[in-house]
Structure 1
Amino acid sequence: METATPPSRDELREHLVRARIAGDVATSRENNLDHYRSLAVRDPHYMFGLSMEGDWTFRDILALMAKAAGVVPDPGFRSGQDTIDPDRTLDALDAMGDRIAAVLKREKPRILIATGHPTGLLTTHLALARLARRRGAELLTPGETRAFTHGGLGRRRRIRYLDDVAMLDDGGALVHTHDPAPMQAMLAELDEAGQDRPDLVIADHGWAGAAGEAGIETVGFADSNDPGLFVGEAEGKIAVTVPLDDNVLPRHYGPMTGYLVSRVESGL
């Protein structure tokens, strides 16, 4: 949950590094480079529902991730500790907060919030949902209980909302997912019902990618090994992508969440 007194930028920078949300993160260089290669060959698992208009070679993706997230830019550095620049995280949090505030200042905004990382970032999304409700936004919940078969293995997963934040469950647990299909189905359901699409989507993974691909203003969070949303931002489909380790202990996101909520409120 968010902290009672939000930290200053300098205090949050120290916390991000100490909690390894940024700085020397747990994601290895080998894992980062493997995912950049996978995206370069258009592996759908890493595209998050986004079509990529540019060529986006492995070198292009590495250069983008060095610029946007602060990973080591040297392609010859192939193993060991990789990094996320905490100042890039802070800058993106500020930009995200400003975007959310701008939408909340509209009359009766419609917002959709979702996460593919319920073991980490759920607490942040729940806090943003509470904030949106307090400020008069309508939180959309299309597709509840709609089922999907994952990975051809016959496991059926359903859309489930917890306090208006969408996730997937497998019947007994909330699950991690990159899949864009749930967001695509949610938007299709709104269209079929003749309802307006959201003014803003706050999400991660395929939830964010599919919304951005559909032309909806989207802000999201992404790890250094998930380059898809950063490419989407570079191509103008994602409004803001915040670089961070997306699966530290949920309590460690409290200061970051408090800072982000405070940034939104300061813009209202």
Structure 2
Amino acid sequence: MNGRIESYALRLLEAGVAGDRTSHGARDNLYKIEQVVMHNPVYTFGLEPLLEGVDFEEAYSAVGRFTGHPPDREENPERGRIDPVRTVEGLVEAARRIRKVAGGGGTLLFGTGHPGALLLYYLELSRWAETLGGRVLTAGTERLYEHGSPLDWVGKVGVLGDGAHLHHTHSPDPMRDVLGEVGAVDLVVADHGFAGAAAAAGIPAIAVMDTNDPALAVAALRAPDLLTVVPMDDNRPQNSYAVALDVIREAGGASAPFMER
């Protein structure tokens, strides 16, 4: 294994964003697969055009492909598994895509349905994209969404917030409305419905994917040029993702290939 990959994999394990103690275990992972197969909109993240005809076996296999383990494999009770090397691979591909768009002066949107865990991660990525020359967009919308909350922006990261709290959401509606306001955009960096709405609209997206996000896994396997997933626990404390940012910055700035293939 490439020494840098091994080093970062170990640090991701220590941070708890990958490994065998992830936030969602077999029961939840399998339940979410069943819900995606049933096209429950709470769990499809707006990706319905990319999920047509999906069955349990395809979704189960897709999650395993990105996490490196079957979604019902547990070595600790009620805790799933993510191979940290797969996380490094996803982060490296994310770095490549962000650098390509931002370095060419392209436009990017950032948003998260997991502000309690991932807000700092996206804030730092949006700032990095701007230092590379990218144009990071924001836009106002007129609707209220889940929790009766409008779309808010923390820096240049879209979130749902009511002035007192930031809210978790799976909904694709905020990103759909933002895309309606800004028009063409070159890349969306997000999760849950913020990413799903972009990919469903044919806009390239990068998405953090936890073990219980099978819709993202299926869509990424079916349309790899459209959707890149980063398999990573999305329920950790904000500072846990510092190592993920380190991987992206190093991979995005490396003069030689970060990954040896």
Counterpart-to-counterpart distance in 2, 1:168 and 1:104: 25
Partner of 1:189: 181
Q: Is the Cα contact below 8 Å between 2:26 and 2:72 reproduced in 1? A: no
**Deviation at 1:53?**
4.4
Question: What SS does structure 2 have at the residue aligned with 1:102?
Answer: helix
5+ unaligned residues in a row in structure 1: which ranges? 1-6, 192-196
2:202 and 2:234 map into 1 onto residues whose CA distance is 24
Specify the alignment match of 1:243 in structure 2.
Answer: 231
Shift of 1:54: 4.1
Q: Which secondary structure does the structure 1 equivalent of 2:6 belong to? A: helix
The worse-fitting range, judged by mean Cα deviation, of 203-212 and 161-170 is: 161-170
How many residue pairs align between the two structures?
250
- With normalisation by structure 2, the TM-score equals 0.88
Report the TM-score when normalising by structure 1: 0.86
Q: Does 1:259 pair with 2:255?
A: no
Distance (whole Å) between structure 2 residues aligned to residue 23 and residue 117 of structure 1: 20
Counterpart position of 1:156: 148
3-state SS of 1:30 partner: helix
Distance (Å, rounded) in 1 between the aligned partners of 2:137 and 2:244: 25
CA distances 1:50-85 after superposition (whole Å, capped 9, x unpaired):
12344221122111111121232679x9x7442111
Would you say 1:203 and 2:190 are equivalent positions? yes
Deviation digits for residues 22-41 of structure 1, max 9, x if unmatched?
11112111111111111111
% same residue: 32
Do the aligned partners of 1:36 and 1:61 also contact (CA within 8 Å) in 2? yes
Which of 46, 49, 52 aligns to 1:49? It is 46
- Return the match for 2:4 from 5, 8, 13: 8
Residue 86 of structure 2 is matched in structure 1 by 88
- Cα distance in 2 between the residues matched to 1:208 and 1:267: 29
Q: Could you say if the C-alpha distance between residues 82 and 53 of structure 1 is closer, same or farther in structure 2, counting changes exceeding 3 Å?
A: closer
User: Counterpart amino acid of 2:160?
Assistant: L
State which of 5, 11, 21 in structure 1 corresponds to 2:17.
Answer: 21
Moved more, 241-250 or 65-74: 65-74
Query: Does residue 92 of structure 2 align to residue 100 of structure 1?
Result: no
Q: Which structure has more RCO (C-alpha within 8 Å, separation ≥ 6)?
A: 1
Structure with more helix by fraction: 2
Three-state SS of the structure 2 residue aligned to 1:147 is: coil
Query: Is 1:67 aligned with 2:62?
Result: no
Q: Is the 8 A contact 1:98 1:267 kept in 2?
A: no
Are 2:154 and 1:167 equivalent residues in the alignment?
no
- Partner of 1:253, secondary structure, is helix
Contact 1:201/1:208 (8 A) holds in 2: yes
Mapped contact 1:48–1:179 kept (Cα < 8 A): yes
Distance in 2 separating the partners of 1:175 and 1:142: 18
Q: Higher strand share goes to which structure?
A: 1
In the TM superposition, what whole-angstrom CA distance separates every residue of 1:96-144 from its partner, at most 9, and x where no partner exists? 11111111221x3111111111111111111111111112221110125
Distance 1:60 1:129, change over 3 A: same
